[in-house]
Amino acid sequence: MFLTVDPQSPITLYEQLAASVRAGILDGSIAHGERLPSARELAGSLDLNVHTVLRAYQALREEGLLDLRRGRGAVITAPSRDLAEVTAALDALIGAASAARIGPDTLISLVRARLSSTQTTQEGPR
Amino acid sequence: MFLTVDPQSPITLYEQLAASVRAGILDGSIAHGERLPSARELAGSLDLNVHTVLRAYQALREEGLLDLRRGRGAVITAPSRDLAEVTAALDALIGAASAARIGPDTLISLVRARLSSTQTTQEGPR
DNA sequence: GTATTGTTCTAGTTGAAGTAGAACAAGTGG
DNA sequence: CCACTTGTTCTACTTCAACTAGAACAATAC
């Protein structure tokens, strides 16, 4: 399990951490049912404040990816997914954007616009 | 030309405005060579500060989408693109993500990760 | 020349993010 | 039962980017 964070990034620390966990869940490096390090522990090893870690954990819980309970810690509730199709679609998108000379910011804007115009499907297992 | 901004959005105002212009360029509602409203004018109609508008303009210039000059204003330097393939790829991605029950935040994270791992192609005309 | 418009500067406010420490409650494990 | 762990909640403070505000300035248009 490789959870990392870059203090220099413009993206907030808790968001980076959450993204790191999401990625781990997706690619299977963090398995369903697995327990994440305790907030205090992870805060220590990443040199973050406990509250920052907890904020990431709570964001993940709101997405239905994590189960948080006192005394027990943070347990993954979402299964790994088959990413083959998503990865393929993603590659196709990056390729098409590159061909059309569309920059990173523009592409992110496009994705966001499409996402917000669509009904947001709740994440996690049924 | 529909440039809008939502003060309630978590996304910064200047970034929203920049995204709005990028979208307009892409779909052709803002043509190559067209002149955007002056910063003061746009600030007035969007109820923003002049500096906020200028910040958006300057971001777009750094992306090679805009040409800024005193007295003349902001002129689009980037041509409209053929978005057919990009849109198709984007739809495919959204579909695949939805099928895999991947949420908006996770998808954005994925796209970002893919973008930063790839060489960022400079935007705009050659 | 005059008006327009981006550029640059100083200065202040606001709010989210992050840090810090403490007390508390629910669960674990002996 | 008891000690320990761990998330929850609370207050308080710092920091920094975003935003606002106003002014002076420089290049361009007409």
CB distance from B31 to chain A under 8 Å?
no
**Cβ-defined contacts of B103-107 (< 8 Å, 24+):** B103/A63, B103/A120, B103/A121, B103/A122, B103/A123, B103/A124, B104/A115, B104/A120, B105/A18, B105/A19, B105/A22, B105/A59, B105/A63, B106/A19, B106/A22, B106/A26, B106/A63, B106/A123, B107/A111, B107/A115
pLDDT, residue A119, reads 55
Tally of CA atoms within 13 A in the half-sphere of B84 that contains its CB:
1
What string of H, E and C letters represents the secondary structure of A67-94? EEECCCEEEECCCCCCCHHHHHHHHHHH
Which of the residues B22, B30, B87, B106 would you substitute to probe the A interface, choosing the one with the greatest number of A C-beta atoms within 10 Å? Answer: B106
Domain hosting B72: range is 13-76
Residue B5 lies in a domain: no
Query: Using CA atoms, how far apart are residues A21 and B93, in angstroms rounded to an integer?
Result: 21
Say whether B102 and A26 touch across the interface (CB within 8 A).
yes
Euclidean distance between CA atoms B20 and B9, whole angstroms? 14
Ranges of residues in chain A with a pLDDT under 50 are: 121-122, 126
Q: Which residue is nearest to nucleotide C19 (CA to C1')?
A: A49
Is there a domain that residue B43 lies in? yes
> Is residue B106 located within the same domain as residue B60?
no
For residue B7, being part of any structural domain is answered with no
A27 lies in the same domain as A71: yes
Is residue A94 included in any domain, yes or no? yes
| pLDDT at position B1 over 90 | no
Q: How far is the CA of A22 from the C1' of C30 (A)?
A: 35
| Within-domain flag for B62 | yes
Which whole number is the average pLDDT over B17-42? 93
Q: Which run of H or E residues covers position B54?
A: helix B50-62
Is the Cβ–Cβ distance between B99 and B54 less than 8 Å?
Answer: no
Q: Over range B23-42, report the average pLDDT.
A: 93
CATH code at position B36: 1.10.10.10
Q: Which of A19, A89, A100 sits opposite B83 (nearest CB)?
A: A100
- Distance in Å from D18's C1' to A33's CA comes to 40
Give me A51's structure tokens. Answer: 């509250």
In terms of domains, do A21 and A70 share one? yes
Look up residue B125 and give its amino acid: P
Mean pLDDT of chain B: 91
Judged by CB atoms closer than 8 Å, whether chains meet at A124 and B111 is answered as no
Q: At what angle do helices A39-46 and A50-62 cross, to 10 degrees?
A: 120
Give the DSSP H or E segment for B35: strand B35-36
The reply to whether A120 touches chain B by the CB within 8 Å rule is yes
- pLDDT of res. A79: 81
Q: How many domains does chain A have?
A: 2
- Which nucleotide does the CA of B5 lie closest to, via C1'? D19
Domain co-membership, B19 together with B69: yes
Residue A4 lies in a domain: no
* Token output for A108: 């992110």
Query: Which pLDDT score is estimated for B123?
Result: 60
State whether B59 and B96 are in the same domain.
Answer: no
Q: Is residue A48 part of a domain?
A: yes
Q: How confident is the model over B90-124, as pLDDT tens digits?
A: 999 999 999 999 999 999 999 998 998 875 545 65
Interatomic distance B65 CA / D30 C1' (Å): 27
Q: Which nucleotide is the nearest neighbour of A43, by CA and C1'? A: C19
**Residue position matching structure tokens 């958006």:** B56
What is the spatial distance between Cα A51 and Cα A17, in angstroms, rounded to a whole number? Answer: 12
